[in-house]
Amino acid sequence: MTEDLTQLREALAESVSGNSGPLVAGALRAVPRHLFLPGVSPEQAYSDEAIVTKRDAGGMARSSSSQPALMAAMLDMLALAPGHRVLEIGAGTGYNAALIRHIVGRSGTMVSIDIDLDTVEDARANLAGAGFGDVTVLCRDGADGAPEYAPFDRLIATVGLSDLSPAWLAQLRPGARMVVPVDLRGSMLCVAFEREDGGHWASRAVEPCGFIKVRGALAGSSRDISLAEGLTLHLPGLAEVDAGLLARALAEGPGSMLATGIAAGSSRVTWTLYPWLCTGGWDACEISEELAAGRMPLLPGTPLRYRTAQFSYGLVSGGSIALLTVPAGEELAVAGYGSGGAALAAALADAVRAWDEAGRPGTEGLHVDAYPAGAPVPPAAGLDLVIDRPATRFTVYRA
């Protein structure tokens, strides 16, 4: 059995660490993920999938073990080295903290924070059981940071944020780096920030990502709305929706279907088209559906599908929604649901064509910089968006 687990761990590390440096690849090979997922089969534990480990009373995911490929990418962005002092926001199962602890070594320091006591206790137990009992796991609002362990060389967040905490910035050393998933009007981007001489934080790398939203002081205006068992609408911004009407419209099926004439694979749709919708002035949305044995899925032909869940993206208003679908091959179509579904479908099809005509822009050349709230923003070539949050003014531009 031990040999089988080693082979599974080696296979996972090999599949997700192709672009990783030797420190991250070595950690993936050394740290046993299955010990952080008790009750999960070894095959699932060593799959390249996020695994939900905690839900609230309404069935919404509240904690998980992130997708290993995404974890590897973020750790590479973090540019860790032995001896670093690291602060993690969002403890989860403790697996990511163990990977970091393995990299920074005995001369480093690893501190992780979570807002839920039961998650903290489970993470502590998992870490101790895997031989990482010297990782410090604190129960508090992550926005407060850990001043008693500061200063830090690195900060990483494993929850989706709407803002940057001033406490974190004060607890980071000069020359520090932080890697955080930032929700920019619904499109979540993982940004590696470093402080510039002028005092603002400039992005060094930007990658698309997906995480459970943070709770506490840094929770933003985005909402997750349960429409049916296993079916969740992820809604950025302040769009007004009628959950009851949307649930009925989706259960009844699409009232209109439009071809776009545009072919695109799942990665292009997820990581370039959806951010285009989110930053283009539309009321964009994401919808996810968990796939369970014995339950017929409501969403047909979604552009992104895993073994346990599927996802689509679109536009929403009131009790109507238009979603991307892929009836055959990779050509995108648009399905409209509800009384206003046809108009939304037409708008979504036009947006898809505009994205294609613009060259299908993704995160290549994209920059996200962070200034204190209310600070003047210097002019930047290709400035696309200025997003004001309580503590931070984000600028989004291409260069």
Instruction: Write the DSSP assignment of 141-188 as a string of letters.
Output: -GGG--GGG--EEEEEE-SBBSS--HHHHHHEEEEEEEEEEEEETTEE
- What sign does the CA torsion over 340, 342, 345, 351 have? negative
Instruction: Determine which one of 20, 66, 187, 317 is catalytic.
Output: 66
Tally of CB atoms within 10 A around 116: 15
Tell which residue, 103, 42, 40, has the closest CA to residue 71: 103
Amino acid (one-letter) located at 333? A
332 and 263 Cβ atoms separated by less than 8 Å:
yes
Name the H helices within the chain: 2-16, 22-30, 42-45, 68-78, 95-104, 117-129, 166-171, 243-252, 266-268, 274-278, 341-357
DSSP class of residue 20?
Answer: S
Phi and psi (nearest 5°) for 104?
-75, -20
Catalytic, 112? Answer: no
Tell which residue, 362, 360, 79, 380, has the closest CA to residue 202: 380
| Gap between the Cα atoms of 46 and 41, Å rounded | 9
Supply the residues annotated as catalytic: 66
